[in-house]
A and B are shown apart, each in its own frame.
Chain A
Amino acid sequence: MRWNPMLRVGAAVFAVGLVAAACGQQESLGGGGGQAPEYEVVQDPRFAPGTTMAELSEAGTIRIGTKFDQPLFGLRNLDGQMRGFDVEIAKIISGQLGIAPEDIEWVQSPSAQREDLIERGEVDMVVATYTINDERAQRVSFAGPYYQAGQILMVRSDNQEITGPDSLRGSGARVCTVTGSTPSENIRPFIEESQLVLFQQYSQCRDALGTDQVDVVTTDNVILLGYVANSEGQFKLVGDTFTEEPYGVGIPKGDVQFCLFINQALTEAAGTGAYQRAWEATAGTVAEETPELPELNSCR
């Protein structure tokens, strides 16, 4: 029987290999299918001297922080192409500065680093499923919001007990989300501390849900919609969204002119249909309804 430990390790190696292969496949699909739409690139735009817009437009290039691993919003494909709704929104804004998509420098901006990247000036703006909240607004300014997401629960399809966040406490259900995310803070009032399971990525939570290690995955609806769509009926969403997560464009603190400019660009995009095309080519491939542009911040 002394082979047994080795056999088990071997089985685990094989199993994890399968999981890794499955993840790889899904993520190549997750950026949203179809051809990327094209947007207006303004020729020789004019801006007041000294503004951020004038500097960027003069330079002809812009550094944009986004996620590289967020299906449907910001995902870098194996061939290096950026796909997702955040990416499209960034292209729309850059177009209004006279900067073509190929002149954008994409900078990976994980959740934990976004404020630092903006404060240190390593990016000109961040479009990265970036929920506007008061604490973040003390360090950076937000234009937008360009989308209103909301947190929701995902469970295995055969789960009848969990119907919404209020059914979690006392149920013993283990709830998975990502370390340091807004959803991890929002869910705390609904559960005991011992119910919370935290990973680095949502794909790990999804795998843990598939192997019965956790009972619920919670985060913004649009992220979970992508997983439900790819799960072949294994997972479902339950209850309604129970938070409001306005996604904003992060810019250096106090740059009111730049904020107003971005809001103007978003409003125009909603008017010309560019906003709707951006959605339909990305998150719209799994979400049912195309959203309206939410009411924008005043930038003050």
Chain B
Amino acid sequence: MQPVISFLGAVVGYFDPVIDNIGLFADAFLHTLEIVVYAAVGSLALGTVVAAFRVSPVSPLRWVGTSWVTVFRNCPLTVVLFFCAFGLPEIGINGAYFWFGVTGLVLYTSAFVSEAVRSGINSVSAGQAEAARAIGLTFRQSMGQVVFPQAFRTVVPPLGSVIIAMIKNSAIVGAFGVGNELFSVHATLVSARGLALIPVLLGVAAGYLIITLTGGALLGVLERKVAIAR
């Protein structure tokens, strides 16, 4: 029994840097949660609009949608965030770094959301849209009431992957002035206060896992809810 207890004691002792600073981890966790909630809502809304542009019958809108996806899907996130944090102030747009960070995540993620949504739209057979038009629905009505509701079912799993990727990407915004988020905890504790790196990083990883695993579980529930037998 004695060796087991001393082993457990050593394990707990190893995580002292996390346990002693649990308040800091909790604050940073909530801050990261705030960032990803704003970014998820923003990128889902914007991505859906961009996807609508891409399938719209108006060619200038299609062009805007396609350019949007081409630019933001092919630029590294770090570059997009750099433009937000340093480029926008340079052309006279000042704001909080929190919002620059969220904006960067939204711009970048919206391209991937758009592609997932578009693939969902394409999975709805053309006959559905034609039938909607035949009974006199406008483009907006046929999209909103016929195509999107069906497309939504198909896009839940790929959208889930996009949002989970976004949550992990949010670790980067700490490098662009958005302080006190989960990943930057390691810099505060390890670099400034000299604590051991690995236990602190394990604590950070646990924080992200709480968000992503919970998100994944919710998506699983949603997926079962909207699933239809084909």
Contacts and interface: CB of A to CB of B under 8 A. Distances in A.
B91 interface: yes
Contacts of A179: 174-175, 179, 184, 187-188, 191
B179 A198 contact: yes
Contacts of A193: 179-180
B192 A181 contact: yes
Contacts of B192: 180-182, 184-185
**Which DSSP category, helix, strand, loop or mixed, fits chain B's interface?**
helix
A119 to B, nearest CB: 10
Contacts of B140: none
Given A179-B184, A199-B175, A199-B177, A2 B60 contact: yes
A108 B91 CA distance: 35
A42 interface: no
B165 interface: no
Interface in B146-205: 174-177, 179-180, 184, 186-188, 190-195, 197
B87 A213 contact: no
A198 B91 contact: no
A80 B90 CA distance: 31
A8 interface: yes
A9 B177 CA distance: 21
B206 interface: no
Given A2-B63, A16-B83, A182-B192, A116 B91 contact: no
B91 A181 contact: no
Nearest to B60: A2
A245 B68 CA distance: 49
Given A196-B179, A199-B175, A180 B188 contact: yes
A2 B68 CA distance: 11
Interface stretch (A44-52, A56-64, A131-139, A286-294): A131-139
B97 interface: yes
Secondary structure at the A interface, as helix, strand, loop or mixed, is helix
A211 B92 CA distance: 8
Most A-side CB within 10 Å, residue of B88, B94, B194 = B194
Given A111-B191, A196-B179, A207 B86 contact: yes
A19 B91 contact: no
A219 to B, nearest CB: 12
A15 interface: yes
A36 to B, nearest CB: 30
B188 A15 contact: no
Contacts of A204: 86
A196 B22 CA distance: 20
Nearest to B180: A193
Interface of B: 60, 63-64, 67-68, 71, 82-83, 85-91, 94, 97, 174-177, 179-180, 184, 186-188, 190-195, 197
25 contacts: A5-B64, A9-B71, A11-B91, A12-B87, A12-B90, A15-B90, A16-B82, A16-B86, A16-B90, A19-B86, A112-B197, A135-B195, A139-B194, A179-B174, A180-B187, A180-B191, A181-B192, A182-B192, A184-B192, A196-B179, A197-B179, A199-B177, A200-B175, A204-B86, A208-B85
